[in-house]
Structure 1
Amino acid sequence: MAINRREYLKGTASVAAGGLLGGSLGSMPAQAQSRADTLRHVMGAVFTSLDPTFAGATRESFPLSMNVYDRLASFGKKDVPGGSVFDMDTIRGELAEKIDRSADGLTYTFHIRQGATWHDGTPVEAEDIKWSLDRAVSAASNSKAQMNNGSMTSPDQFKVVGERQVEIKTERPDRLTLATFCVPYIPMFNSKLAKQHATSDDPWAINWLKENTAGGGAYVVESNRPGQQVVLRRNEKWKNGPDGALPFFQRVIVQTIPDISARASLLERGDADLTLDAAASDIPGLEQRGRVQVVAVPQSNAWQSIALNTLAAPFDDVKLRQAVAAALPYEDMFNAALFGRGQRLFGADWTQPPRNVIPQPMPFRHNLDKAKKLLSESGHASGLKTSFSFPASASATAEPMAALIKESLAKIGIEVAVQKLPDAQMATAVSERRLPMFFDFFTAWLPTSEYVTRIFLTATTRWNPSGWNDAIATKLGDDARYETDKAKYDAMIGQVIERYLAATPVVMLWHPNHDAVVAKNIKGYTYWFHRGADYRDLKRV
């Protein structure tokens, strides 16, 4: 059975995942592979590391690693309008065949799947899991902060308690502990292989694992030409999927094709099977011609916003922030920036939220009369000058937004200078709180309401784009993280929503669509929280 996160603290539970059906021994001979057995994925970006935990890993490294490395656990899937998406409320074992949880929610015991092996054929042992977890909290990598989000900070919290059992303890019943084991930053490594390439200066083999793998997942890296192509070969001994079956595709070729039009053309000619980064402006044409299918699902764990710097003038004034929020031309921006492809987070007409959830559609509406009144109340009745900034990489979305923002705010007396900044310069300026108003795109792998509160709304880091500092909202988010009573949790989130709307530090606009352009004979595409492809889901029909 699978653990439902809503029930995650109701006594001791177990998770069983997948059958114990083994695949055939060895790998499929190359000559037996055909075009039908091979998936070709074309993308514009490149992989900078085969190890997703490497500090310089690009976003493309994360989904790749999900296919090459197993995690202890995995989220389930659910159907939604338009396709399938990850289901954070259902967690199953992956490399673990069973997960026991204590009644107090402080101890998890992972039972390693009987017969599980690494890519080199050696058995997966409890010591491998212990080493992988120790690495996650000790190495200078992306894993450390992620583990901290699940209240895991020390190797002392991980203990081998049997031949195939590893125990994990936390001091408090954290809502995100189990979910943490599902994300790309927590892969399980073949410790014996990795240790062979460790050094005194690099005890966790970070440098070696950047260009090599030590995994046991559904696919083996057959070849890697950085910046050009990665070829994956199916691991015929893999048995850790939800039903114990092997993935359909024997081989996956992932190629970097910089030209965005060329990628779409390859799909339409039948020379490629998948691309995830087609231009939003090209999607309607692709759908109309009908040579490919477009799997379009709103990115429920990602949203685009207009952030207002609450730590400096002029937007340290709440009335001015509210005035801007009332002046924004929401529907026009949605259509110009996304061609209407997404889910609105504006335009709600409630006074009390129907659900105590963040994010959800908020009662932000275009109302110039209200905006002018609020502007006057802020002491800026005669108007003011400010700027709206966005990174060059977001030009396709943010540039049409900027023109509309400039036009609409001018109607209430706010003169807006538009700034398109190089990505690195933009990131630095945001971190240093030097921009008054700017475009922001936030993604949460674990998008629970209290996580969004703690990281996006109230944190002291760059990930809180507005710099909003509300002591009560901060405490509510921190307390909700450990609250096991659903009614109390919901009440806390409701208070956060109330304070957020009153302060208006950032205007959440929409969930943009995740548009997967897929060959018409490919089925099973699922939107995952890492916004990449899981090749294990796909099959040719």
Structure 2
Amino acid sequence: MGRQSRVALLIVLMVTLVTTGRAQAAEQPRYGGVLTWLEYADPGRLDIHSESPLSVLQAVAGIYSGLLQYGPDDPDQWGPDLAERWEASADGLVYTFQLRRGVKWHDGQPFTAADVKASLDRITSPEFRSPRCGTMLTPLVERTDIRDDHTVNVRLKFATPIFLPALASAWCRIVPKHILERDGDLTQPKSLIGTGPFKFKRYVRGNVIEWERNPNYYNPKLPYLDGVKQFILVERSTQVAAAKAGQIMLWNVGPPMRKGEAEEVKQARGDQADVYEWALGAIGVVYMHHQKPPFDNPEIRRAVYLALDRQEIFARAYEGSGMPCVILDPQVFPEYALPMEEVQHGLGCRQPKEQDIAEAKRLIEQHAPGGFDLDVVVRALGPIYTDPAQLIVQQLRRIGIRGTMRTMESAAGFAAYARGDFHFIGGQGTLINSPDVHDPFSFIFHSKGSRNYSGFHDAKIDELIERGLRGTDPARRRDIYRELQRYILSQPLPQLTLGWYSGYRYVDKRVRNFKPGKLDYEGLTHTNLWLSK
């Protein structure tokens, strides 16, 4: 499917879902019922501040509240949550937040400004190294001060337009100071005390995660659901079977369905469910460890760029969904993304591939005569990772790199990546955490980014990213990020961008008021969802 066709399809689907949402909004919401939801991996450690897998956020999203939030009415718009109102100083350096009064933690303790300070101090501590919220806020926040029990000041290092959208991220939740002091971290179910619409009920590893309605939520009219049950289904065949049988009502997060799987589910469920294609706000990246031979040699990395056919990977492994080679998805960042005509001239992106492959063979023969063996590792999350990795192995063999694919359990894979325990990651998806364009660059390409797994430092990349963070003029920021994309497209970086994913999602028509957002990380609290029966 071509770019224009995909965009047209997305527009039609957006109109359909929004129209459906409006029709459902005319219905009277119904209280009760338990939403069944797909949890695509066993999350393991449950600390929202210290962990980075999406499965962790999904496991606890409805438990916590933030100062700000995306939704609940519109998942693409941020607004108040625990902070009722806020104001910025004239110089844009100090934000004052007025907190809701009378809010209780799930254990009955009062929520105060001390909890906000403890949370933000933890998140922005350089020693703690929070991989999600910390990566967003640590470069921005100088300190948090308590004015009184219901007022906090947050002082920034510099004025920036991205602070409030970043603070509203689902990863930037406020946690109880008294639980941090008691338990030291939030990795265990007993520590999951929040102020959110749901209370944590239980976690059975490899089986299920359950929430139950918080009767003392600060909005007494919400939530509508009695609870949420997340079935932990790791095997793709089991996930698809659960959707076809109606065992799960919602599959809106995690690795998406491919076109063929979506058609199976739609055929099985008929008019009882909606299946839709959606841009996920997720970038796929291959990682080469630049501190380990042979990838410490940029000419070997250049050979890999030239050998990989990203158009073939998206056509075959993703069944035509997604946007190969782009550093920014034009469907997600239309005002910043380079035109496809320019992207196609990037290193390794031109078609046909014969000339690139010949040059890649020459580079391997010059710098690694006879080629070499390679361990290609991916997380075991089904075909979204294994299918492209297998194609990558095949494509690299054409130039004398003898790769073997190895899968790792999801949490173990993330831990290995964070330790730098790899030579070659055959594809890792990263969902953007906030709607600002800096996000994928700060996480993946900045030298301190939590998804820059080998800690590669490029002074020009860091300088451009930091200028973009400080920029307040929209036109100037656009120029900065376009320059950044052009530079990344021209360099054999250890982070090789495959492209941006899209895929298919599923929602049972019993689920009412469901509105898919631009960010996969938002809309996971289910505060406003209700069931028709």
Q: TM-score, normalised by structure 2?
A: 0.75
Instruction: Check the 8 A contact 1:110/1:165 in 2, yes or no.
Output: yes
Higher gyration radius (CA): 1
Which residue of structure 2 lines up, in the alignment, with residue 522 of structure 1? Answer: 511
Which residue of structure 1 lines up, in the alignment, with residue 146 of structure 2? Answer: 160
2:451 is the alignment partner of 1:455: no
Alpha-carbon displacement from aligned partner over 1:66-115 (angstroms, at most 9, x marks no partner) = 2111100113589xxxxx8x53xx43111111121122221111111244
Distance 1:125 1:462, change over 3 A: closer
SS of the aligned residue for 1:304 comes to: strand
Which residue of structure 1 lines up, in the alignment, with residue 380 of structure 2? Answer: 393
Instruction: Check the 8 A contact 1:134/1:158 in 2, yes or no.
Output: yes
1:288 aligned residue (267, 280, 289): 267
SS of the aligned residue for 2:501 comes to: strand
Distance 1:499 1:293, change over 3 A: same
Which residue of structure 2 lines up, in the alignment, with residue 39 of structure 1? Answer: 35
1:217 aligned residue (196, 220, 230): 196
Equivalenced residues, count: 482
2:91 is the alignment partner of 1:104: yes
Which region of structure 1 is more displaced relative to structure 2, 314-323 or 61-70?
Answer: 314-323
2:280 aligned residue (295, 299, 303): 299
1:536 aligned residue (505, 508, 527): 527
Q: Distance in 2 between matches of 1:166 and 1:426?
A: 35
Letter in 2 for 1:173: A
1:50 positional shift: 4.8
Output aligned runs, 1:137-152, within 5 Å. Answer: 137=124, 143=130, 146-147=133-134, 149-151=136-138
Alpha-carbon displacement from aligned partner over 1:5-59 (angstroms, at most 9, x marks no partner) = xxxxxxxxxxxxxxxxxxxxxxxxxxx986xx22122435334345423x46854
Alpha-carbon displacement from aligned partner over 1:318-367 (angstroms, at most 9, x marks no partner) = 6665554454333331132122233444599x9xx985448988222332
Distance 1:307 1:526, change over 3 A: same
2:480 is the alignment partner of 1:480: no
Q: Distance in 1 between matches of 2:361 and 2:247?
A: 59
Q: Distance in 1 between matches of 2:298 and 2:352?
A: 17
Q: Which structure has the higher relative contact order (CA within 8 Å, separation 6+)? A: 2
Letter in 1 for 2:190: E
Which residue of structure 2 lines up, in the alignment, with residue 6 of structure 1? Answer: none
Instruction: Check the 8 A contact 1:48/1:57 in 2, yes or no.
Output: no
Letter in 1 for 2:458: D
1:463 positional shift: 2.5
Alpha-carbon displacement from aligned partner over 1:417-467 (angstroms, at most 9, x marks no partner) = 122224357964785486367433333423644443343124166723576
2:251 is the alignment partner of 1:270: no
Which residue of structure 1 lines up, in the alignment, with residue 478 of structure 2? Answer: 490
Instruction: Check the 8 A contact 1:406/1:415 in 2, yes or no.
Output: no
Q: Distance in 2 between matches of 1:461 and 1:512?
A: 21
SS of the aligned residue for 2:475 comes to: helix
2:321 is the alignment partner of 1:341: yes
Output aligned runs, 1:348-367, within 5 Å. Answer: 355-357=335-337, 362-363=343-344, 364-367=349-352
1:392 positional shift: 5.1
Which residue of structure 2 lines up, in the alignment, with residue 3 of structure 1? Answer: none
Which region of structure 1 is more displaced relative to structure 2, 68-77 or 452-461?
Answer: 452-461
Letter in 2 for 1:441: G
Distance 1:180 1:425, change over 3 A: closer
Which residue of structure 2 lines up, in the alignment, with residue 328 of structure 1? Answer: 308
1:500 aligned residue (462, 481, 488): 488
Alpha-carbon displacement from aligned partner over 1:384-415 (angstroms, at most 9, x marks no partner) = 6244713251562454435544555566xx12
Distance 1:167 1:494, change over 3 A: same
Letter in 2 for 1:247: P
Distance 1:116 1:46, change over 3 A: same
Task: List gaps (5 residues or longer) in structure 2.
Answer: 1-29
Letter in 2 for 1:368: K
Distance 1:143 1:464, change over 3 A: closer
Which region of structure 1 is more displaced relative to structure 2, 489-498 or 220-229?
Answer: 220-229
Which residue of structure 2 lines up, in the alignment, with residue 67 of structure 1? Answer: 62
Q: Identical aligned pairs, as a percentage?
A: 19
Alpha-carbon displacement from aligned partner over 1:471-499 (angstroms, at most 9, x marks no partner) = 22221222222222333322322322222
Task: List gaps (5 residues or longer) in structure 1.
Answer: 1-31, 79-83
Distance 1:441 1:384, change over 3 A: farther
